[in-house]
Amino acid sequence: MIVGIIGATGYAGAELVRLLAGHPGVSGFALASVSHEGDRIEHIYPNFLGKIEATLVKPEEAISRSQVVFAALPSGVGEPFAKACIEKSIPFIDLSADFRFDDDEETFAAWYGKSFVYNELRNYSVYGLPELNRSRIKELASAKKLIIGNPGCYPTGASLGAFPALAKGIAGPGTIIVDSASGITGGGRDPSRSFHYPECADSLAPYKVGAHRHTPEIARNFQAMAAMAARAVSVQQGPAVIFTPHLAPMNRGILSTIYIPLAEEWRPKERSGASRLSGAPRPPTKEIEEKAGEIRRVYEDFYKDEPFVRVLPAGVIAASGRVRQSNFCDISIHLDQAGTTLLAVSAIDNMVKGAAGQAVQNMNIIFGFDETDGLKTIPALF
């Protein structure tokens, strides 16, 4: 199978090339780049020398030569390519935000400053979080016309960390807080002051506080997941979300801590109190630790058939370094000392499960490959 990649010279595009080069169902590439047309991919990325050789062509040529097309482009520019693929019945997997909001043009325009170009394309699109929408992806794939809105990196880690709690009624009323730290590759390949080494090395800082455009995507996912719980069938609005991203001095990875209020029936009956003298909280009780174990077992059962979600055993805390260059999402489960809040910690590689790897996973589902094909890499710990 020939795979087309439009935007092959960006970080996500190059990561697609790297992953798909080892895919047993891929026999060749049609790589496109508007800014580097005529150049060779192995000259732009010398790590491909001796392994991958390809001249970069126009997007239209890549589409004409391919059986599936990935687009690793900025949001708001890929719809004409999606339309061309739909007309040729070629699956189109889009890594931008263009198809992440279904037909909710109002939300997309508010956060991305652009309107839909071809509204009718949403008839063929599906939000591509496999753990949430696998059956819908397969349904549209059988119809031969399909657009995947590949999820954003932050929403992937946050959503997988909260999914079982929302779907199984563990989450109670109240605001869910998501604190995430990402490696600098999330900012893309074009240089900017924020990602200049002296600006970001040896420093951890939040950015776009209260205003990051992945917030509505996280909120939509939480709403869809909460609707799966019997208690939330009639709920029209999901839980409120506060999302704060941080830039971390590392190349890859996203670590998210998700603070989820517990439903009353999931709160331990015996909770840690506070010092009568100072009001300071006391350590967690044994019952709180047992309740954390009970919730962990719910997560383990929920994800038992998912090839890329690893619920970690008690005593092991999720860390970005343990999923590096892999498509895994690691999740560790904790309760606060009072036993009223679930702390789910998730770790992904922002360039793999948060971008290119998840896109390959979606391709595997579409074509009936083993879902792990091209994604069997064991994480590089150091």
Give me the domains of the chain, ranges plus CATH numbers: 2-151+353-367 (3.40.50.720), 154-349 (3.30.360.10)
Q: For residues 291 and 367, what is the distance between their CA atoms, to the nearest angstrom?
A: 41
284 pLDDT tier (thresholds 50, 70, 90): confident
**Other beta carbons within 10 Å of 119:** 11
State the average pLDDT over residues 228-243: 70
Which residues on neighbouring strands pair with residue 181, listed in sequence order?
Answer: 246, 255
Residue with tokens 């687009």: 71
Q: What is the mean pLDDT of the chain?
A: 93
More confident site: 230 or 352: 352
- The reported pLDDT for the residue numbered 278 is 61
362 pLDDT tier (thresholds 50, 70, 90): very high
**Other beta carbons within 10 Å of 202:** 7
Nearest to 159 by CA among 106, 93, 223: 223
270 pLDDT tier (thresholds 50, 70, 90): low
234 pLDDT tier (thresholds 50, 70, 90): very low
- The reported pLDDT for the residue numbered 324 is 97
State the average pLDDT over residues 214-243: 82
Name the burial class of residue 193, with classes exposed (0-12), middle (13-18) and buried (19+) by CB atoms within 10 angstroms of its CB.
Answer: exposed
Q: Name every residue whose Cβ is closer than 8 Å to that of residue 170 and which is 6 or more positions away in sequence.
A: 164, 260, 262, 263, 266, 295, 298, 342
- The reported pLDDT for the residue numbered 321 is 96
| Residues 40-89 pLDDT 10s | 999 999 999 999 999 999 999 999 999 999 999 999 999 999 999 999 99
- The reported pLDDT for the residue numbered 271 is 59
Q: For residues 130 and 150, what is the distance between their CA atoms, to the nearest angstrom?
A: 10
Q: For residues 348 and 10, what is the distance between their CA atoms, to the nearest angstrom?
A: 20
DSSP-derived secondary structure for 300-322: HHHTTT-TTEEEPPTT----GGG
State the average pLDDT over residues 6-21: 97
Kindly state the helix (H) or strand (E) to which residue 79 belongs, with its residue range. helix 79-87
Q: How distant, in Å, are the alpha carbons of 75, 83, 268, 269 from that of 335?
A: 37, 47, 10, 14
**Whether 85 is catalytic:** no
Is the pLDDT score of 232 beyond 60?
Answer: no
18 pLDDT tier (thresholds 50, 70, 90): very high
Q: How large a percentage of the chain has pLDDT more than 90?
A: 85
State the average pLDDT over residues 297-317: 98
State the average pLDDT over residues 310-334: 97
Is the pLDDT score of 276 beyond 80?
Answer: no
State the average pLDDT over residues 262-288: 77
Is the pLDDT score of 272 beyond 60?
Answer: no
| Residues 92-130 pLDDT 10s | 999 999 999 999 999 999 999 999 999 999 999 999 999
Q: For residues 188 and 11, what is the distance between their CA atoms, to the nearest angstrom?
A: 6
Q: How large a percentage of the chain has pLDDT more than 70?
A: 95
Sign of dihedral through CA atoms 117, 121, 123, 129? Answer: negative
285 pLDDT tier (thresholds 50, 70, 90): confident
Q: How much is the pTM?
A: 0.94
Nearest to 124 by CA among 164, 158, 154, 84: 84
Q: For residues 191 and 349, what is the distance between their CA atoms, to the nearest angstrom?
A: 21
248 pLDDT tier (thresholds 50, 70, 90): very high
231 pLDDT tier (thresholds 50, 70, 90): low
**Other beta carbons within 10 Å of 149:** 26
- The reported pLDDT for the residue numbered 235 is 47
Torsion, Cα 224 246 326 334, to 10 degrees, reads -60
- The reported pLDDT for the residue numbered 233 is 43
- The reported pLDDT for the residue numbered 195 is 77
CB 134 within 8 A of CB 197: no
Report phi then psi at 109, rounded to 5.
-65, -35
Q: Are strands 341-348 and 329-335 parallel, antiparallel or unpaired?
A: antiparallel
